[in-house]
Structures are given as structure tokens and as C-alpha cells.
């Protein structure tokens, strides 16, 4: 197992290099740049902009800029932001907990509900429940997240006054877990709704396929009860593609909550990414590209390990 | 026009506005949710400050808040346009002997007994260090405007400074007003000030001290008990970030924020906001003016008659009324009508499509077969650019496009992301026309050398910000004269003439001076809209609860 993990991590090195190289090139080849934000400062002039270009190292050829950035990364130096001069890793890491919390809770809700709805839909195919679940999923996937967000704020924060309208906590209540949970409910529910919808569809398809397999018929012929067939035979087989899917989707979860973060004022990574993108904050963007690439690798690795743990036919080598 | 403005497609912004329209009047007009805490003030903005070093910040307006909370300049400017001493004992002038008769020698006496919030004494060496940092080529200082004219900087003693300028420059007062002093004892040993820990853990002489910053959420400041102008009226000042303007407006109404500042109440909600009980809506006359920029370096815009024709064909007032709900103030100059140097004698000729057509005929642009004017086989066709995704600006462009189509001019809207349009596309004068809003260039001084002097065209000389490539020897002469005149009346006359010429030759066509509406709780006292600064917290030490 350890050898497998080590091999996979070694194999991922060229992948990270490739991703960073492509990301760096695309960012710099795209029109515009970080100096544009200075142009809107009325007191700044051409000399000032040129001076700042040199300080940021943007006057150097792109390949030199990349080598400098990459050698810094090898030393563990993720660079400093252009605007603020802060270490990039600190800027990213300070946003991770908020995003992990929001996305983790939304995902947990979605997996539990999505699997339950999907399994039930597959088992009771063409039933009223199945039709309702299908229609509900289509409804949830068709409407934009911000609409659900605004409606949730309107109903639960404005009309009923049950929950706060936004933020991560009341000012001055930063250490109050109950307050944090109250703030977490609405964004989790809104994000969870959308993810549940898609996961219920994946789960339904996966279970439908498995339930029609010969070994399921054999299990039934053996006289196994329904829950035994489902848990012992169907579940391990149907859940494998879902685990693989989760491994691939994990990194997207870190940037996928942008709309919810904006509507609910949640201080996560999605907003950081968009802010950095609009200002062409190359160091933050590169940091997030590498961070996301690492999560793709780790996510896939975890998925492979989990599948091997579930399915004894899969051997990690 | 109305259709254009209200049919931007099924955009996120549009739907939020629509949904907000449904929910706000019904729900958020109800009494405040939060119990008022009179020991703190919560200021809400849509953007977040990321830079606390006052010499390095980029995003003025937002990053002015930490600057005003934690730092001081030598002098401030109040809401009447009068300079008032801050770290200086007095504002230097000819009358008090602070400025020599030729305007070259400036003597500045500092206030005694001022301390940094860590207890160190503030001295003239801190001012000297601030100047040296501004001029340090390795530091990404946002501007050196005015400081580059300093020939010698002499520390006479701990409380006195003598500065010699290479030439007289009256706006020098603005340069210091706009630059806050940083501590030498904390920064002098830094190898790289751009990345110094001080930039996120600053120490200043200002009325508040940084307590904590929660990224993406808020920043908390605590009162500086030893503030040299007396302790602030509240113990805590909180700068809260609410990224969506409508959500922030909702929080201002429910009481979750005490004062909603940038980006202000949405233009279409001014009437509603002005009627909310227990709230004051403050109108800020911003120094920011929105223009059409013509690139005079392009052959079709070289003739002033063409630029003037295009300008007077535009329905400027209609654009303000229909697109900005009348919230902008029509101006005929690069200055807001509220500015002391504004030339009130200027006459608005817009819209006058008949005169515009005549001027184009005189300039040799005659109507072609497809109703587009031509000259020497070239069509009068050009592009207009601004930041993509700004519905108000898009609607303004669409209106001007219609106005110009009526006189045989073809304009193509070509908007781009901010990081593109305001990059080399602007600074290297690659555009045809731009729709852009800018403040004056040296504080709120009427000097406009950087934007209108012929030696300030970056694409030709590598200096300045005259992106329109406008050149007029008389304007050059007047601009050079204006910065040497010490009498206000003389300056007013000089800049009135500059404005008159610019309105005739139209390198940039003024549309309107932007205004913002802020919303605060009625009991919050001391907030004074100041059209002479971009910093709404300029007097934050005076804010408190009734």
C-alpha cells in the first residue's frame, strides 16, 4: 500500500509541473495584467507603473519569471501577493477552514441525502417517489444557486427571522460554536441542495445498473433478504464509481462555492480566487492552481485506496 | 434607452436586483434586528482592504479606511476644503512663514508629544523616512506625485523640517495630505518593505489600533487611548465586508451594519433609502468624473471639430437621468461642479445633433451611401471600451451609439475585463475611445498637468498619464502657470481658462460627476461627507453615538 502511494506521488510530480507550466503560460499570455489596477489610481503615472512593473518582476521574460517562481516553490516559498505583499500560502490557508467547513458540511448532507434518494429511486423505479425525486433534482439543478440563496435569506432570515442572513458569525461571537452553526445552516442547505440533486442522479444510475446484474438475481434466489442484498452486494459495487467521482470532484468543491460565498458573505476560497482573477494577482492564482492540482492528486489517490478497501478484487500495486 | 438598461439578459446581477426588489421593501424595512451597541461602530463596504501600509495601498476608498484609522498625515483637508493641521503644528503658508516667497522652501513644524501606538515618540525622522521610502525605487509606492520635486530634505531637529523644491509647486500641500507617515523605528530595518510583516500588523499614530483581521469578513480596530487629538468616541471600530451591494444595503436597513459606505446605496434605490425611518442618507459629491476619452493620436480624432461634434451629439443629461437615475451631477469639466475651481461660466451645448452634423461636414466627413460618414475613403467608424459587465456603462455606451448613429457615425462597443482595458490598452493609448471615470490627479487640486500637458503623453515621452495624447501649447502654458500661483483667485482664473479650452477641443468629453448615497443610523454622529477626499473615514476619531 505504502509503495503504491509513494509511486503515485512520484508520478504526480511531472503532472504538477505540467499544470503549473500551462497555468503560468496561459495567465501571462492572456491580455491584461495586474498593473491595470494602478491605472485607475488618478495620481499614478507612466513612470510609477513602469517602476512597479520592475518591482513585481513583470519586466522579465516569461520563462525567467516561471523559473524564479518554480525554484521558489521547490524551496517551499510560494511567493508573496502583489497587493499586500503577504505570503501566498498564508493567504490561501487562511481561507481553507471556511471553505472546508462549508463544502464539507454541504457535501456530507448531499452524500447522505443523495445516496438515500438515489437508492430509493433505483429500488422503486418508476414509482411516484422516483418521479418526484427526478423532478426535484431537475428543478434544483435548473435554478441558479444565487436564486435559492436569495430565497433562503428572504424566507428564513427576513420573514421568519430564524437564521442570520450572512457571514460566518456575529461580530464579537467568533468563538461561539452555536453561532457558527446557525450561520452555517443556510449556505449549507443551499449548496447541499444542488449537490444532493446531482448525487441523487448519479446514485440512482449506479444502483439501477447494479440491481440488474446476475449476481443480484442469484443473491435473491439464495433467499437473502432485501437489506442484505442491498448492503452486502449492491452497495459495494454501486458505490465504487461514486467514490471515483468524489475523488475527481473534491478539488472543485474548493472553488465551487463562489456564488454561495458571495450571497452569504462566507469568507472562503471561491471569493479569493475570483478577486485574484479580476486583479490578475498572479502569485495567488498560481498558488491556487498548484493547491488545486495537489488536491486532484490526493483526491484520486484517496479514491483509489477507498475502492481497494471496498473491493478485494482491486489490488494496489 | 430604458429597454437597453432593463434588458441586459438573464444576468446574475439583474436577477439579484429583481429578487432584491421583491424582498427588500417587504422584509428588510422592518425594525433593526441587532441591538445597538454604542461602544462600537460597524462600517459596511463591498470590498476588503488587503494592504495596511498607507504608502503601498492600491484600492483607494476601501484601503483609505485602515489608513485613516491607524495613521496620520501632516495635515488633513476638511469638508469645507480647508487644510487643517494633524501631525504638523500648523499648515505651512506664506502668511505664517512656512512657505518662502518664491514657493521653493517649505518649513514644517511638527506637533510635540505625539507617540506611535507602541509608545515610541514620533519625530521628524519618521517624516524623513516616509519621504525616503516614497522615493525608494525598490518600494511599490502607489504614487510619488509632488515628492519627486523635492531637491533637499533637511531634518532641522526632532520637530522641524525644511524642504527645498526644485520648482514652485502649490499642489505640494495635497501631496502630503494624501500621504500618511510611517514609523522609521519599525520599517528602517526591513530588507523589503513591500513584503514587511508591518504591512499586515501596522503601528501608526492614528485614533485606532489594529486588533484583528478575519480574511474575507471583517477587521476590528480598538481605540488608541493615547491619540494625540484625544481618544476616539467609541472603543471599537469594525470594518465589515459584504461583497454583494444589495445584500449590504439589506444589512444597512436591518441594522446589521451601522453605516453603509462604498459602493453606496444602489442608484435605483435612492428614493426608497431616503425615506427609511431612523436612517440618514448622506449624499457624497465625489471628485470622480465620468468621461468619453478620445484618442487624439488616431487620425479620425486629430481634428478638434470631430471630437466636439461627437461630444455635442451626445444626450449627456438624458444618460444621467435614464441610466443613473439622476444621481450623477452634470459637469462640463474634469472637476465636479462642487469644486472651488469649477468654471461655472461654461455652457452645456449637448445635445445638438444639427450643430454636430454641421461640424462634421466642415471637418470633411460627408455622409456616405450607407448613412455612415466618410472622408478620403475611410468610414467614421470607431470602438468604445470600458470595463465589461458594468450594466450602467453599457447602457450609456448604447445611448451614445444611438446618438452618433443619427449623425452618420458608427461606434462599435468593445468592452473588456478591467485588467485588460485599463492595462496597456489605455496606458499605451491603443484605444479609439474609452468610457472612464477619474478623479483629479494631485489630491483634489485643480492641476491637470498629468492628463492634459503635451509632455505627459506616455506613449511619446514615457511619463505622465495623458492617454488621449492631447497637445495644446496654450493649455501647456496655463498648466505650468497654475502650479506656481499661490493666490486662489489667480489659480481659479487660470484653471477656468484651461476648462474652457478643454471644452472647446474635447480631448475628453465630461458626462457627469459621480455621487454616492451612504446610509447610516440616525444616532451615529460625526460623519461628515467630504468631497475633497476619497476617504469617508477622514474624521473617524469624531464618530460616535448620540
Residue range B339-380, pLDDT digits in tens: 899 999 999 999 999 999 999 999 999 999 999 999 999 999
Residue range A32-87, pLDDT digits in tens: 889 888 887 777 888 888 889 999 999 999 999 999 999 999 999 999 999 888 99
Query: Does the beta-carbon distance from B142 to A38 stay under 8 Å?
Result: yes
Query: Does the beta-carbon distance from A46 to B60 stay under 8 Å?
Result: no
B97 touches chain A (CB under 8 A): no
B17 touches chain A (CB under 8 A): no
Task: State the pLDDT confidence band at A315, using cuts at 50, 70 and 90.
Answer: low
B427 touches chain A (CB under 8 A): yes
Instruction: Give the phi and the psi of residue B518 in degrees, each rounded to 5.
Output: -105, 155
> Looking at the predicted structure, is the pLDDT value of residue A245 above 50?
yes
Of chain A residues 169-198, which have a CB less than 8 A from chain B? 171, 174
Per-residue model confidence (pLDDT) at position B460: 93
| Distance between B48 CA and the closest CA of chain A, angstroms | 10
Q: Nearest Cβ partner of B137 from A32, A43, A51? A: A51
A37 touches chain B (CB under 8 A): yes
Per-residue model confidence (pLDDT) at position B414: 95
CATH H superfamily, domain B286-514: Dipeptide-binding Protein; Domain 3 (3.10.105.10)
Residue range B291-322, pLDDT digits in tens: 999 999 999 999 999 999 999 999 999 999 99
Residue range A116-139, pLDDT digits in tens: 999 999 989 889 999 999 999 999
- Residues of chain B positioned with their CB less than 8 A from the CB of A94: 215
**Which stretch of B1-15, B209-223, B521-535 has the lowest confidence by average pLDDT?**
B1-15
Per-residue model confidence (pLDDT) at position B32: 37
Closest Cα partner for B247 from A278, A184, A277, A266?
A266
**Domains of chain B, residue spans:** 2-53+199-285+517-545, 72-197, 286-514
Query: Does the beta-carbon distance from A46 to B27 stay under 8 Å?
Result: no
Per-residue model confidence (pLDDT) at position B19: 44
B2-53+199-285+517-545 folds as D-Maltodextrin-Binding Protein; domain 2 (3.40.190)
Residues A54 and A178 in one domain: no
- Residues of chain A positioned with their CB less than 8 A from the CB of B178: 43
Per-residue model confidence (pLDDT) at position B24: 44
Residues A265 and A218 in one domain: yes
Q: CA A165 to CA A185: how far, in whole Å? A: 10
Residue range A194-222, pLDDT digits in tens: 889 988 999 999 999 998 899 988 988 98
Query: Does the beta-carbon distance from B419 to A278 stay under 8 Å?
Result: yes
| Distance between B369 CA and the closest CA of chain A, angstroms | 37
Residues A42 and A174 in one domain: no
Residues A174 and A228 in one domain: yes
Q: Nearest Cβ partner of B419 from A32, A50, A94? A: A32
Per-residue model confidence (pLDDT) at position B173: 93
**CATH of region B72-197, choose from 2.40.110.10, 3.40.50.300, 3.40.50.10320, 3.90.76.10:** 3.90.76.10
Per-residue model confidence (pLDDT) at position B91: 97
Residues 6 or more apart in contact with residue A104 via CB below 8 angstroms? none
Q: Return the percentage of chain A with pLDDT > 70, whole number.
A: 97
> Domain of A125?
103-279
Q: How many structural domains does chain A have? A: 2
Decide if B72-197 and B286-514 have a common fold. no
Query: Does the beta-carbon distance from B214 to A56 stay under 8 Å?
Result: no
Residue range B368-417, pLDDT digits in tens: 999 999 999 999 999 999 988 888 999 999 999 999 999 999 999 999 98
Q: In this predicted model, which residue has the larger pLDDT, B21 or B187?
A: B187
What string of DSSP letters covers chain A? -HHHHHHHHHHHHHHHHHHHHHHHHHHHHSS--TTHHHHTSTT--HHHHHHHHHHHTTTS-HHHHHHHHHHHHHTT---B-TTT--BHHHHHHTTHHHHHHHHHHHHHHHHHHHHHHHHHHHHTTTSHHHHHHHHHHHHHHHS-HHHHHHHHIIIIIIIS--S-SSSSS-TT-TT-HHHHHHHHHHHHHHHHHHHHHHHHHHHHHHHHHHHTSHHHHHHHHTT--HHHIIIIIIHHHHHHHHHHHHHHHHHHHHHTTHHHHHHTT--SHHHHHHHHHHHT-HHHHHHHHHHHHHHHHHHHHHHHHHHHHH-TT----
Task: State the pLDDT confidence band at B496, using cuts at 50, 70 and 90.
Answer: very high
Best B10, B134, B139, B140 residue to mutate vs chain A (most A CBs within 10 Å): B140
In a domain, A251, yes or no: yes
- Residues of chain A positioned with their CB less than 8 A from the CB of B56: 85
Task: State the pLDDT confidence band at B22, using cuts at 50, 70 and 90.
Answer: very low
Residues A29 and A175 in one domain: no
Residue range B88-120, pLDDT digits in tens: 999 999 999 999 988 999 999 999 999 999 999
- Residues of chain B positioned with their CB less than 8 A from the CB of A45: 143, 145, 450, 456, 458, 463-465
Query: Does the beta-carbon distance from A43 to B458 stay under 8 Å?
Result: no
Q: Nearest Cβ partner of A146 from B16, B450, B465? A: B16
- Whether the full predicted model's pTM is greater than 0.95, yes or no, is no
In a domain, A194, yes or no: yes
Residue range B438-477, pLDDT digits in tens: 988 888 899 999 999 999 999 998 888 999 999 999 999 9
Task: State the pLDDT confidence band at A186, using cuts at 50, 70 and 90.
Answer: very high
> Looking at the predicted structure, is the pLDDT value of residue B30 above 70?
no
B438 touches chain A (CB under 8 A): yes
Residue of B nearest to A168 (CA): B217
Q: What CATH number should be reported for the domain holding residue A169? A: 1.10.3720.10
Amino acid at each position: 500500500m505504502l509503495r503504491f502511494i509513494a509511486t503515485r506521488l512520484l508520478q504526480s510530480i511531472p503532472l504538477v509541473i505540467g499544470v503549473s507550466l500551462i497555468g503560468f503560460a496561459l495567465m501571462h499570455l492572456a491580455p491584461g495584467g495586474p498593473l491595470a489596477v494602478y491605472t485607475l489610481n488618478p495620481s499614478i503615472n507612466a513612470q510609477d507603473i513602469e517602476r512597479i512593473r520592475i518591482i513585481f518582476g513583470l519586466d522579465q521574460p516569461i520563462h525567467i519569471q516561471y523559473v524564479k517562481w518554480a525554484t521558489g516553490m521547490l524551496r517551499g516559498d510560494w511567493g508573496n501577493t502583489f497587493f499586500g505583499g503577504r505570503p501566498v500560502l498564508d493567504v490561501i490557508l487562511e481561507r481553507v477552514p471556511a471553505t472546508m467547513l462549508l463544502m464539507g458540511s454541504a457535501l456530507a448532507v448531499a452524500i447522505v441525502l443523495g445516496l438515500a434518494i438515489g437508492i430509493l429511486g433505483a429500488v422503486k423505479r418508476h414509482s411516484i417517489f422516483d418521479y418526484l425525486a427526478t423532478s426535484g433534482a431537475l428543478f434544483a439543478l435548473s435554478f441558479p444557486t444565487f436564486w435559492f440563496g436569495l430565497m433562503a435569506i428572504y424566507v428564513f432570515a427576513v420573514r421568519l427571522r430564524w437564521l442570520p442572513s450572512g457571514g460566518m458569525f456575529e461580530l464579537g461571537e467568533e468563538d461561539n460554536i452555536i453561532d457558527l452553526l446557525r450561520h452555517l445552516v443556510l449556505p449549507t442547505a443551499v449548496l447541499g441542495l444542488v449537490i444532493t440533486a446531482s448525487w441523487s442522479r448519479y446514485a440512482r444510475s449506479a444502483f439501477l445498473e447494479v440491481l440488474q446484474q446476475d449476481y443480484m438475481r442469484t443473491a435473491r434466489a439464495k433467499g437473502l433478504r432485501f437489506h442484505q442484498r442491498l448492503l452486502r452486494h449492491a452497495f459495494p459495487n454501486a458505490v465504487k464509481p461514486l467514490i471515483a467521482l468524489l475523488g475527481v470532484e473534491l478539488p472543485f468543491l474548493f472553488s465551487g462555492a463562489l456564488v454561495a460565498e458571495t450571497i452569504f458573505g462566507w469568507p472562503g476560497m471561491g471569493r479569493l480566487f475570483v478577486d485574484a482573477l479580476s486583479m490578475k494577482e498572479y502569485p495567488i492564482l498560481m498558488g491556487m492552481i498548484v493547491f488545486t492540482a495537489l488536491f486532484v492528486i490526493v483526491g484520486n489517490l484517496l479514491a483509489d485506496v477507498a475502492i481497494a478497501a471496498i473491493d478485494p478484487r482491486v489490488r494496489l500495486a | 434607452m430604458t429597454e437597453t438598461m432593463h434588458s441586459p439578459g438573464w444576468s446574475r446581477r439583474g436577477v439579484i436586483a429583481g429578487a432584491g426588489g421583491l424582498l427588500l421593501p417587504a422584509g428588510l424595512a422592518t425594525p433593526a434586528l441587532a441591538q445597538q451597541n454604542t461602544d462600537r461602530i460597524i462600517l459596511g463596504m463591498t470590498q476588503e482592504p488587503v494592504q495596511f501600509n498607507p504608502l503601498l495601498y492600491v484600492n483607494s476608498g476601501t484601503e483609505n479606511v485602515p489608513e485613516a484609522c491607524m495613521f496620520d498625515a501632516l495635515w488633513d483637508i476638511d469638508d469645507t476644503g480647508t487644510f487643517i493641521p494633524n501631525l504638523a503644528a500648523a499648515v505651512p503658508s506664506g502668511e505664517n512663514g512656512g512657505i518662502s516667497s518664491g514657493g521653493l522652501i517649505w518649513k514644517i513644524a511638527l506637533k510635540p508629544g505625539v507617540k506611535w501606538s507602541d509608545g515610541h515618540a514620533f519625530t521628524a525622522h519618521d517624516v524623513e523616512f516616509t519621504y525616503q521610502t516614497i522615493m525608494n525605487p525598490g518600494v511599490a509606492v502607489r504614487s510619488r506625485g509632488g515628492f519627486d520635486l523635492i531637491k533637499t530634505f533637511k531634518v532641522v531637529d526632532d520637530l522641524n523640517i525644511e524642504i527645498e523644491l526644485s520648482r514652485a509647486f502649490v499642489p505640494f500641500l495635497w501631496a502630503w495630505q494624501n500621504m500618511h507617515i510611517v514609523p522609521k523605528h519599525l520599517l528602517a530595518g526591513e530588507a523589503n518593505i513591500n513584503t514587511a510583516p508591518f504591512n499586515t500588523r501596522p503601528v501608526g499614530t492614528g485614533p485606532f489600533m489594529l486588533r484583528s483581521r478575519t480574511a474575507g469578513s471583517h477587521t476590528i480596530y480598538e481605540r488608541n487611548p493615547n491619540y494625540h487629538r484625544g481618544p476616539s468616541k467609541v472603543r471599537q471600530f469594525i470594518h465589515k465586508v459584504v461583497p454583494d451591494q444589495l445584500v449590504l444595503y439589506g444589512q444597512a436597513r436591518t441594522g446589521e451594519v451601522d453605516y453603509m459606505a462604498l459602493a453606496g446605496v444602489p442608484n435605483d434605490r435612492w428614493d426608497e433609502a431616503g425615506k427609511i425611518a431612523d436612517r440618514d442618507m448622506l449624499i457624497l459629491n465625489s471628485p470622480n468624473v465620468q468621461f468619453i476619452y478620445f484618442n487624439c493620436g488616431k487620425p479620425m480624432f486629430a481634428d478638434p471639430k470631430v471630437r466636439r461634434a461627437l461630444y455635442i451629439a451626445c444626450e449627456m443629461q438624458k444618460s444621467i437621468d435614464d441610466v443613473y437615475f439622476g444621481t450623477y451631477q452634470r459637469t462640463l469639466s474634469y472637476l465636479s461642479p462642487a469644486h472651488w475651481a469649477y468654471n461655472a461660466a461654461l455652457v452645456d451645448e449637448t445635445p445638438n445633433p444639427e450643430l454636430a452634423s454641421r461640424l462634421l461636414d466642415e471637418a470633411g466627413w460627408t455622409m456616405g451611401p450607407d448613412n455612415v460618414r466618410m472622408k478620403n475613403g475611410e468610414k467614421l467608424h470607431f470602438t468604445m471600451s470600458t470595463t465589461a459587465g458594468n450594466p450602467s456603462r453599457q447602457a450609456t455606451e448604447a445611448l451614445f451609439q444611438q446618438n452618433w448613429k443619427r449623425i452618420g457615425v458608427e461606434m462599435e462597443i468593445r468592452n473588456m475585463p478591467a485588467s485588460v482595458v485599463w492595462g496597456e490598452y489605455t496606458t499605451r493609448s491603443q484605444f479609439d475611445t474609452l468610457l472612464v471615470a477619474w478623479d483629479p490627479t494631485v489630491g483634489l487640486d485643480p492641476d491637470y498637468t498629468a492628463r492634459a500637458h503635451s509632455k505627459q503623453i506616455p506613449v511619446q515621452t514615457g511619463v505622465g498619464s495623458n492617454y488621449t495624447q492631447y497637445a495644446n501649447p496654450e493649455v501647456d502654458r496655463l498648466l505650468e502657470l497654475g502650479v506656481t500661483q499661490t493666490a486662489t483667485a489667480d489659480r481659479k482664473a487660470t484653471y477656468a481658462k484651461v476648462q474652457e479650452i478643454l471644452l472647446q477641443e474635447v480631448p475628453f468629453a465630461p458626462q457627469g460627476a459621480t455621487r454616492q448615497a451612504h446610509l447610516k443610523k440616525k444616532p451615529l454622529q460625526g460623519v461628515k461627507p467630504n468631497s475633497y477626499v476619497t476617504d469617508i473615514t477622514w474624521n473617524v476619531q469624531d464618530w460616535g453615538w448620540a
